Structure 1
Amino acid sequence: MTTEDTGHAPHRTLPVTDLSLVVLIGASGSGKSTFARRHFKPTEVISSDFCRGLVADDENDQSASKDAFDVLHYIAGKRLAAGRLTVVDATNVQPEARRQLVRVAREHDVLPIAIVLDLPEEVCLARNAARPDRADMPRHVIQRHRRELRRSLRGLEREGFRKVHILRSEDEVEQAEVVLERRYNDLRHLTGPFDIIGDIHGCRSELDTLLGKLGYVDGAHPEGRTAVFVGDLVDRGPDSPGVLRRVMSMVADGNALCVPGNHENKLGRYLKGRKVQLTHGLAETVEQLEREDAKDPDFRKQVGAFIDGLVSHYVLDGGRLVVCHAGLPEKYHGRTSGRVRSHALYGETTGETDEFGLPVRYPWAEDYRGSVAVVYGHTPVPNTSWINNTICLDTGAVFGGKMTALRWPERELVDVPAEQVWYEPVKPLETEAPGGREGRPLDLADVQGRRIVETRHMGRLAVREENAAAALEVMSRFAVDPRLLPYLPPTMAPTATSREDGYLEHPAEAFGEYRAAGVARVVCEEKHMGSRAVALVCKDAAAARERFGTADGGPTGALYTRTGRPFLDDSALTETVLGRLRAAVTAAGLWEEWGTDWVLLDAELMPWSLKARGLLRSQYAAVGAASGAVFPAATGALAAAAARGVDVGALADRQRERAGDAAAFTAAYRRYCWGTDGLDGVRLAPFQILAVQGRSLASVPHDEQLAWLDRLVEHDPTGLLQVTRRLVVDTADEASVRAGTDWWLEMTGRGGEGMVVKPLGALVRDGKGRLVQPGIKVRGREYLRIIYGPEYTRPDNLDRLRGRFLGHKRSLALREYALGLEALDRLADGEPLWRVHEAVFAVLALESEPVDPRL
């Protein structure tokens, strides 16, 4: 639109889009800088004079103009890329100067707006004469500026300026008021809640059924919810006019929003008399509209006006949600250009065609890393799922699939089945899925190099290239089939260092930390004397094949370590463990209670020697054997010396203490070792249900979790499963804290490893909204002898160990926890496994950081 006033006006309003490139145009001395200072923030204005000063130390050095404008264009580009209003203060009377600025605006998909100060020559001369740095400017320079300006005025729109404001007198300039206008696509002030409805394609009956299921009555929702339509209302289906009437009515009443689809765009061109091919269902819509003409001759005009008024996409809910037809990369959100509109309507193709002769669409959602959710349609899929915070709601209703809506912010999917196949697709619907259950194969590019993983609970988490490379080595050489690796447990934070005499770790610090974070109740769980194990148990081979893509006759789950390696070398033995777990879940009635065909468990597998036999033999047993060989001889020699009258009392006492420490070390690690034969002697202690079909259970309170697990143990007749003992503690109650401490002292005093203290409510945040540690391990005095060496309890050694730096380990534990939660959420949401695996791989990569594992 052009705003131009050729007459006197006491007050001029100059509308300026809030994200645009405003170009001030006028001869030297026309007052552009004064105008800019009056109407815009100092940081919004980029002056060519200032840029000359930057590069030449002289704002009037015209020989520096080329470099100065390079700087100006660079700064303008950076501001526009950041989504900031930008004003260019220069003469800009030459077409080439303006052309470059229009190009900058188009590169960043914002509107270029011209504000022209066409003041009389004498005014410009007088103002320049009043400036010491411009007093010598010749008259012919001003005359040339004005000639170039006058030649340009009528062509500014053709140059690409979307708005042109012309001020022709000092009075007009003085009375002008710049008013910022919100972009048409900026509806951030609307916070919903919303019901976003996928492609309809003339299926009026299914639309009515879906709206009814969502709770709408006569087009309005009793709770004030707003429907948002993603476009493609028309073509192919039996009643495009009926769909248009319903949607147009809801939009007019303020009960709905609608963005255009490519089918509306084509219909709009047809209604304007443009030459279009009546293909892809448009012929059916035209025929239906012709029947409507007899009933309502104005209906076509109303439809044309409605389509003309549709905006390419909307930014909603404080900027947390974008709705469009064909998807939109982050760089286009809230932008206004033909390129943005084209992508919103049609998406992007690779330039190839598939075996059905259709264009191959570029998988933009796989590259999306934005924090803003993008909801779209356009490409029909049999079952929808979230991919990188984007979701496609076109589930092929017109092709006999279903019509789908997304409740926002609940992220709940609601759908209704198609009443019949209304239009036979060229391409079978089931081949269209961009993710499906398995989705595309896992790709090396998903995990190579530096990665940023977007998580719901901790924002963006970075994975360094060197850590990714180390993780890839482990994953490719040692891990279980990645399809059966939907989760890796995080490292666990140790408790803060204790100052209790003789102790490095003590429950007091763990209880105090949770109390300071506002966590009133914690559960203390026995730390089992084994190795961390994750068990994926499917109800049967069909369930494993359906969700995890295993081959016919393949495994029915997996049992793996915290680094993704198979726990047992014998696959048949692994299937036996899974079979016993499956039988316990069945006997406990939990398949039905959870409504699932698979379950993911976090557990401890014992004995420790089952997995750590090599470590025991090469490290711990070697120390024990050496001390057993050395100390008896040493103490014997010292005793003989003492018998001869040599004063070796202090040295002998020290060696006896060292021998006692070595014996305690040997006794400590031997408690974690016992013989096994097959599964005889093996124990599995599950302590958390991580996820089931359609649900992440990581936020379920631990008392509920442990009640489920007690039922599992109760219904296991084989003796494989073992109960996790626990005690609930009130962190604000001294007696309760003392009872928790006594329980730990009793347990560790008889050789137990210790306990893990967890918030009873599981997923918890502190008063500042930060994630609280999901668990803090408090290990016993004797167990730590295995970790830090036989003599670590000596006062001088304890003093050194109390200086250990735990910050990195604790930060790592929280980041891995957030990634684990993200993997579980994606798994429960039914996202393709490559998406789940992105977060799983990141946990393994972070584990490759150089952090002392003993902490």
Structure 2
Amino acid sequence: MTILDLPDLALVALVGISGSGKSTFARRHFVPSQVLSSDTFRAMVRDDENDQSATGDAFDVLHYVAAKRLRAGRLTVVDATNVQPHARAAVVATARAHDVLPVAIVLDTPEPLCWERTQARPDRAFGREVLRRQHRDLQRSLKHLAREGFRKVYVVRDPDTVELRYERLFNDRTDLTGPFDIVGDVHGCRVELESLLLALGWDLVRDGDGRAVDASHPLGRTAVFVGDLVDRGPDTPGVLRLAMNMIAGGRALCVAGNHENKLLRHLRGRQVQLTHGLPESIAQLAADPVDGLDRFLDGLVSHYVLDGGKLVVAHAGLKEEYHGRTSGRVRAFAMYGDTTGETDEYGLPVRYPWAQEYRGRAMVVYGHTPTVTPEWVNNTICLDTGAVFGARLTALRYPERELVSVEAAAEHYAPARPLRAPVPDRAPGQLRLSEVTGRRHVQTPYGTVTVPAEHSAAALEVMSRFAVDPRWLRWLPPTMAPASTSAQDGYLEHPVEALADLRAAGVDRVVCEEKHMGSRAVVLVCRDAAAAAKRFVDDGSTGVVYTRTGRLFFEPERTEQLLERVRAAVTSAGLWEELETDWLLLDCELLPWSAKARTLIDQYAAVGTAGRTVLPAALAVLDAAAGRGLDVTALRDRLGAGLRDVQAFTDAYRRYAPADAEVTLAPFAVLAAQGRTFADRDHGWHLELADRLVAADPAGFTPTRRLVLDLSEPDAAERATAWWLELTGAGGEGMVVKPYAGLGVRDAKGRLVQPGVKCRGREYLRIIYGPSYTEPEQLAGLRDRRLGRKRSLALREHGLGLAALAEAAADGPLWRVHELVFAILASESEPVDPRL
């Protein structure tokens, strides 16, 4: 058996003359979507796979599709003769353009056998001389394939003995999930490296001279060095020996730095300039040789992709399109970064600020460019804090995002350029219009959400004219889908269907929460003005209270009064200390409804007033007509029923418009705090914290009644119905049924489950569907509600919201939080029946 090792991501060129068995080989070893056949593309452009005049157009399309696949990270196979250098050059160029490895698999089938197969195919009309010419071209090509750029070349003479085996790229360590201690540029500073490892909790193994030669962590953490272990510092051999032993023991990784690359070239006799600390390393290594150094330096990869693709470590950083790719330019970028082509006043190259344009999902940790203080820039961070220049050696704990530094023992090498803090291209709270306009595809851990351009425009109108300062706007509530339309007589929504909806999604335990008739309110409260200024907005305010579309409920003075009550309750309940935070994001209902919906109530009142005025007068006329002997019974019954419905409609909205009622908050979820989101906590935990706020200030907070049900119990629907009828019979709006396990529940296929389905009361729905909606003919028409779009919208907004919470809690860049929240607001422009 012949084993062919192929990279997981590559552009494979099948090379062989007509009839050599390339297509058969492709069908046997690759899935159809991976194979791009020149015959198929000739047929695609000219309806005839044998039309050689279509070859140019066919290959144009083939390479276009290959480029799209490679950009998406998909292994691709080109099934063509590829016996001529220009054809293979196009394959190599396409691979290089997308930074993947080109591989050649040559099917060196004897020409007589190929001719025999060709004669057996009636669609092949060319003569044997064509095959002979192809065979000559192939034989001349065999010894040149590697020089042409193919990283692997396999010559197959017996396809039946071949087995393909896939190997991951050297930079692909997505299987390693950490935790990691990522160490910045060491530059020969052994003493500082030892101090940093001790500060990180590592145990050191020392030699007879007291120098650390190995290290391990009692909690199994892995060290990751960002490169530049060597040069400039006082003990390059000691640093190398320690790092190499840690790597050999599987306790560390290291990427190639530009200084390692230069040292390797010197060791191999290449002409390099003896500058930037290289002479010091040469002298130290001559006095204290390190075994296996050449092999170690040669084995360093350009970058690592770790933790399922969530973390990338490269010496000089790496833009997203290079993550997990392999090419000379990827390696150059990873080791040296990108420059503008200019030099500064110290004669050093001006680095291109790639991190300021980075929008990737992976965290990128790097070094290379010394800085005074590491700063997060768009989910990237530089850890080179100039240890060799007398500043500090720094490490990042991952996934904790905690920085740990130790002071340098001395200035071991004078910097050519004074250390300076990074200068971002915009203030931390600044946003760009281009990040929210036009048609956009917003990535979340729960899928991609497409925002049409017209929805973006509508959201921009709200954001620019009505919404709160976007630095406060860290989350918006998703829309909520109603339960499936009820089959119960006289009801449009009913608990039976609400429970069935969640049971169908695989939920086995639910909490039924009282649905307050108020306005959804998001409360972001800070411990004090200083905490607000440090984390959000420095304008003297201590938080914000906004609607589900991001608008303020009240003027600033009244908002601060409300926040003061919330803050006092949080303090009394001990939540600042318990949750280790200086701010909290709460999901609440603001009561009464009239505090926000006065205009809407006035509209309902107009309908009620008109009905109560007109219908009695009409009934009086009908009574008079009946007194004269006219048969108006049917009409009078219909109008009488209408008057009863209008009165029920009036009673329904009047319940929610109390005069001079005090504003209160009904909290039901603690969404996020500094450094964490609570989407994984169950609703019992959320409601217990809400109860503590109510207990701390019963006048300022309203409790949320709830009923927890195990859906496997036979009387679950009966109990839910009885509780719901009791709530709605007393004038309540209804209930919301939620998966008890929390906000981010997924079904068996990994898809998000609705965070809650609302089940509104029969009388409350008169406000929504009109006074007479319960009439049998009207109710029958309303049962044909199309809920699919509403449910899809709710899930999309929910996924965006969960992603926004995670970014906000982790101190993610404002542009990313804003992008997600803006997408939620834009989704509200989607045309959906507003009554649902």
Query: Please, what TM-score do these two structures have when normalized by structure 1?
Result: 0.85
Aligned to 1:560: 546
Partner secondary structure for residue 292 of structure 2: helix
Partner secondary structure for residue 484 of structure 1: coil
Aligned to 2:434: 445
Aligned to 2:211: none
Contact 2:228 2:259 in 1 (8 A): yes
Residue-by-residue CA offset, 1:383-420 (whole Å, 9 max, x unaligned): 56594xx543626373746623344xxx3334422224
**1:670 and 2:654 correspond:** yes
Instruction: Assess, with a 3 A threshold, how the Cα gap between structure 1 residues 207 and 816 changes in structure 2: closer, same or farther.
Output: farther
CA distance in 1, matches of 2:239, 2:728: 70
Aligned to 1:730: 710
CA distance in 2, matches of 1:28, 1:276: 49
Residue-by-residue CA offset, 1:451-510 (whole Å, 9 max, x unaligned): 222223x22222222211111111111101111111111111212222222221222222
Identify the range of structure 1 (516-525 vs 589-598) with the bigger mean alpha-carbon deviation: 516-525
Contact 2:231 2:281 in 1 (8 A): no
Identify the range of structure 1 (240-249 vs 121-130) with the bigger mean alpha-carbon deviation: 121-130
Partner secondary structure for residue 611 of structure 1: helix
AA paired with 1:720? G
**1:779 and 2:760 correspond:** yes
Aligned to 1:268: 264
**1:523 and 2:517 correspond:** no
CA distance in 1, matches of 2:551, 2:61: 55
- C-alpha displacement of 1:445: 1.3
Aligned to 1:696: 677
- C-alpha displacement of 1:161: 3.6
- C-alpha displacement of 1:672: 1.2
1:290 to 275, 283, 292: 283
Residue-by-residue CA offset, 1:15-36 (whole Å, 9 max, x unaligned): 655544445667778x474895
- C-alpha displacement of 1:685: 1.8
CA distance in 2, matches of 1:778, 1:845: 26
Identify the range of structure 1 (635-644 vs 354-363) with the bigger mean alpha-carbon deviation: 354-363
Instruction: Assess, with a 3 A threshold, how the Cα gap between structure 1 residues 733 and 129 changes in structure 2: closer, same or farther.
Output: closer
Contact 1:405 1:413 in 2 (8 A): yes
Aligned to 2:610: 626
- C-alpha displacement of 1:518: 3.9
Residue-by-residue CA offset, 1:585-637 (whole Å, 9 max, x unaligned): 222222122211111111111221221122222x2111012112201211111
CA distance in 2, matches of 1:640, 1:133: 94
CA distance in 2, matches of 1:768, 1:49: 38
Partner secondary structure for residue 711 of structure 1: helix
Instruction: Assess, with a 3 A threshold, how the Cα gap between structure 1 residues 767 and 65 changes in structure 2: closer, same or farther.
Output: closer
AA paired with 1:268? L
**1:823 and 2:771 correspond:** no
**1:636 and 2:620 correspond:** yes
Aligned to 1:596: 581
Aligned to 2:212: none
**1:741 and 2:726 correspond:** no
Partner secondary structure for residue 626 of structure 1: helix
Aligned to 2:101: 111
- C-alpha displacement of 1:113: 4.2
- C-alpha displacement of 1:127: 8.7
Query: Please, what TM-score do these two structures have when normalized by structure 2?
Result: 0.87
AA paired with 1:413? R
AA paired with 1:829? A
CA distance in 1, matches of 2:533, 2:194: 36
CA distance in 1, matches of 2:241, 2:266: 18
- C-alpha displacement of 1:54: 5.7
- C-alpha displacement of 1:323: 3.9
Aligned to 1:507: 495
Instruction: Assess, with a 3 A threshold, how the Cα gap between structure 1 residues 237 and 826 changes in structure 2: closer, same or farther.
Output: farther
Aligned to 1:346: 336
Contact 1:627 1:659 in 2 (8 A): yes
Aligned to 1:404: 395
Residue-by-residue CA offset, 1:536-586 (whole Å, 9 max, x unaligned): 1111221111111x23x4322111110001111x21111111122112222
1:540 to 522, 528, 534: 528
Contact 2:585 2:673 in 1 (8 A): yes
- C-alpha displacement of 1:72: 4.7
CA distance in 1, matches of 2:29, 2:620: 91
Aligned to 1:654: 638
CA distance in 2, matches of 1:153, 1:497: 70
Instruction: Assess, with a 3 A threshold, how the Cα gap between structure 1 residues 402 and 513 changes in structure 2: closer, same or farther.
Output: farther
Aligned to 1:7: none
Instruction: Assess, with a 3 A threshold, how the Cα gap between structure 1 residues 63 and 460 changes in structure 2: closer, same or farther.
Output: closer
2:560 to 575, 578, 583: 575
CA distance in 1, matches of 2:490, 2:142: 87
Contact 2:481 2:790 in 1 (8 A): yes
2:740 to 757, 760, 781: 760
Identify the range of structure 1 (837-846 vs 376-385) with the bigger mean alpha-carbon deviation: 376-385
Contact 2:625 2:632 in 1 (8 A): yes
AA paired with 1:765? R
**1:84 and 2:75 correspond:** yes
Aligned to 2:354: 363
AA paired with 1:804? R
Partner secondary structure for residue 583 of structure 1: helix
Contact 1:185 1:334 in 2 (8 A): no
AA paired with 1:264? E
**1:490 and 2:478 correspond:** yes
AA paired with 1:405? L
Partner secondary structure for residue 535 of structure 1: strand
Partner secondary structure for residue 805 of structure 2: helix
- C-alpha displacement of 1:248: 0.8
Instruction: Assess, with a 3 A threshold, how the Cα gap between structure 1 residues 289 and 791 changes in structure 2: closer, same or farther.
Output: same
- C-alpha displacement of 1:830: 1.1
Identify the range of structure 1 (234-243 vs 144-153) with the bigger mean alpha-carbon deviation: 144-153
CA distance in 2, matches of 1:122, 1:636: 106
AA paired with 2:438? G
Contact 1:771 1:814 in 2 (8 A): yes
**1:313 and 2:298 correspond:** no
Residue-by-residue CA offset, 1:798-848 (whole Å, 9 max, x unaligned): 111111111211221122111111111111111122221111111101111
Which ranges in structure 1 are unaligned for 5 or more consecutive residues? 1-10
Aligned to 1:813: 794
- C-alpha displacement of 1:716: 2.7
Instruction: Assess, with a 3 A threshold, how the Cα gap between structure 1 residues 142 and 654 changes in structure 2: closer, same or farther.
Output: closer
Partner secondary structure for residue 823 of structure 2: helix
Contact 2:12 2:77 in 1 (8 A): yes
C-alpha RMSD over aligned residues: 3.7
Partner secondary structure for residue 688 of structure 2: helix
Instruction: Assess, with a 3 A threshold, how the Cα gap between structure 1 residues 774 and 34 changes in structure 2: closer, same or farther.
Output: closer
Partner secondary structure for residue 253 of structure 2: strand
- C-alpha displacement of 1:293: 3.1
AA paired with 1:302? G
**1:303 and 2:293 correspond:** yes
1:50-129 counterparts in 2 under 5 A? 63-81=53-71, 82-90=73-81, 92-93=83-84, 95-114=85-104
Partner secondary structure for residue 782 of structure 1: coil
